[in-house]
Amino acid sequence: MLHGVAEGSTRKRSRVVMEGDDGLQDIQDDARSGNSDRPEEEMSVLAKPLWSPDSVPRMESELKGLIEYVRRKPQLNDANASFMRDSLRTMLIKCTREAELAFETESSIVDSPSRSSSISGDDSKDENTAVEWYAVHDILETVFRYLSAKDLSVARGVSKDWNKCGSKPSLWRQLCLQQPWRSLQTDRALWNLIDPTLDVKDPDVWRKVYPTLARKKWWRCKLMKTNKFVCNLIVHQIDGESLGDNFPSTLTVERRFALMHLTLAMLPINSPLLYFEPETDEDKEGLEGFIQYLIRRDRAGLAIEQHRRYIFIPPCDYSRDRRYEGKSLLGGVQLSSAHGFQNNI
């Protein structure tokens, strides 16, 4: 059934670029029967008998069939390579399974009676079951990597095997990083900021934290100092009153104030708390330099956009009071009309 799913996916995607062609089936037919458009010397190779599913000629013929199919379809030159990737993936799965079955059949024929009697039928059955289990799970994991978190959760409810495969940390880690929360890979203190009840050593921690991450809002933003670009940011709202869907595309830090005034600036208990991380690896240096710039001056940064003040908080006593022991940049948001703010900095 799973092979059918994989092959069906391949055919579905190939139909988009080939306008109804049979895709992988055509390739396999070409590999076995040849095609009149090919040079005679290539025909002779593809026409050779496929002695064994695990032989080099067999794999070579499959690969040549794929290459020839692409050559005969000029329209594929303007498409992406997803069709070829899907064809290769399906081909490898199919050839691997056929090779395993051929090996099992050959072993059962070659085994002598004395050797066969020394191995119990249960042990042999267990070995075959184990091989089949791993083959199926490899296919499942490949398919599951293309599912959304919602669909993956549904798949986990199908059976115990699907639940085991769909609970793999690598799958949920991938989904978390797509939110995007790239800093979870490097900033352990961020986990405590998001949910202090989580154990980062728990193998299922990525699956457990995903629902929390999915509920939190995030935005992309450009950080500037006066007339100077700093870096591109991903801005996450950790808690506090919702900021809605609108967030400035650019924040320009034009003022600084002493860290001792943060308590006054962030007085409302439900003030939004933000976490900033670099959008790409190229932005990391700019963000780290900005954090050091604030630390050296014992200051917090301030940007004013429309009716809000955005406060940039380097590691300090205030951030530690908010459960964050890391080295990244936190942020707070306050309405410009908030009482007492302007007169106290």
Taking all residues of the chain, what is their mean pLDDT, rounded to a whole number? 78
Binned at pLDDT 50, 70 and 90, residue 193 comes out as very high
Whether residue 277 sits in one domain with residue 206: no
pLDDT by residue (tens digit) across 35-50?
444 444 444 444 434 4
By C-alpha distance, which of 182, 142, 183 is closest to 165? 142
Asked if residue 174 is part of any domain, the answer here is yes
User: What is the Cα 224 distance to its own chain's centre?
Assistant: 30
Q: Check residue 69 and give its pLDDT.
A: 82
User: From residue 230, how far is each of 142, 287, 293 by CA, in Å?
Assistant: 39, 7, 11
Whether residue 198 sits in one domain with residue 273: no
Contact 257, 303 (CB under 8 A): no
Binned at pLDDT 50, 70 and 90, residue 114 comes out as very low
Asked if residue 48 is part of any domain, the answer here is yes
Whether residue 253 sits in one domain with residue 187: no
Whether residue 280 sits in one domain with residue 224: yes
Contact 157, 146 (CB under 8 A): no
Q: Check residue 198 and give its pLDDT.
A: 94
Per the model's pLDDT, the better-predicted residue between 160 and 55 turns out to be 160
* % of the chain with per-residue pLDDT over 90: 43
Per the model's pLDDT, the better-predicted residue between 175 and 111 turns out to be 175
Asked if residue 146 is part of any domain, the answer here is no
Binned at pLDDT 50, 70 and 90, residue 252 comes out as very high
- Residue 339 scores a pLDDT above 60: no
Write out the chain in H/E/C secondary structure.
CHHHHHHHHHHHHHHHHHCCCCCHHHHHHHHHHCCCCCCHHHHHHHCCCCCCCCCHHHHHHHHHHHHHHHHCCHHHHHCCCHHHHHHHHHHHHHHHHHHHHHHHHHHHHHCCHHHHHHCCHHHHHHHHHHHHHHHHHHHHHHHHCCCCHHHHHHHHCCCHHHHHHHCCHHHHHHHHHCCCCHHHHCCHHHHHHHCCCCCCCCCCHHHHHHHHHHHCCEEEEEEEECCEEEEEEEEEEEECCCCCCCCCCEEEECEEEEHHHHHHHCCCCCCCEEEEEECCHHHHHHHHHHHHHHHHHCEEEEEEECCEEEEEECCCHHHHHCCCCCCCEEEEEEECCCCCCHHHC
| Span 81-103, average pLDDT | 74
Range of the domain at 53: 2-110
pTM: 0.62
Lowest mean pLDDT among 21-30, 124-133, 224-233: 21-30
Whether residue 234 sits in one domain with residue 285: yes
User: From residue 217, how far is each of 223, 244, 247 by CA, in Å?
Assistant: 18, 9, 10
Whether residue 333 sits in one domain with residue 223: yes
Per the model's pLDDT, the better-predicted residue between 176 and 68 turns out to be 176
Q: Check residue 95 and give its pLDDT.
A: 74
Q: Check residue 108 and give its pLDDT.
A: 61
Q: Respond yes or no on whether the N-terminal peptide bond of residue 180 is cis (omega within 30° of 0).
A: yes
CATH number, residue 229: 2.40.290.10
Asked if residue 14 is part of any domain, the answer here is yes
Number of domains the chain is built from: 3
Q: Check residue 74 and give its pLDDT.
A: 79
- Residue 55 scores a pLDDT above 50: yes
Per the model's pLDDT, the better-predicted residue between 91 and 310 turns out to be 310
Token output for 199: 């154990």
Asked if residue 125 is part of any domain, the answer here is no
Per the model's pLDDT, the better-predicted residue between 247 and 344 turns out to be 247
pLDDT by residue (tens digit) across 308-320?
999 999 999 989 9
Contact 303, 251 (CB under 8 A): yes
Q: Check residue 98 and give its pLDDT.
A: 74
